[in-house]
Amino acid sequence: MIYLGICIIIVGLGLIFQAALYSPIYGRSINFTGYNILFGSICILFGILFIGSEIRKRMKKKNEQK
């Protein structure tokens, strides 16, 4: 889950700085112009939440073992 959170944060940062994504595999372009900052910020927030929840789970499991 930590890796997923990091990937979501990277995608969010990419959306903030570059409003259009192009997939060479599928030959499609996704354009986020106009709401790229909002969507990028939401992706970053979800990434931080994923990482935070995983860290809390690990800390809780570690405290229960003691």
What is the predicted pLDDT for the residue at 45? Answer: 96
Q: What are phi and psi of 31, to 5 degrees?
A: -110, 120
pTM: 0.81
**According to the model, what pLDDT value does residue 3 have?**
92
Alpha-carbon distance of 16 to 21, in angstroms, equals 11
The Cα–Cα gap between 9 and 7 comes to 5
CA torsion sign, 10 to 15 to 17 to 23? positive
Mean pLDDT of each 10-residue bin along the chain, 66 residues long: 91 90 86 90 95 92 82
List helix spans (H) across 1-66: 2-17, 36-65
d(CA 66, CA 62): 7
Percentage with pLDDT > 70 across the chain: 98
Predicted local confidence at residue 64, as pLDDT: 84
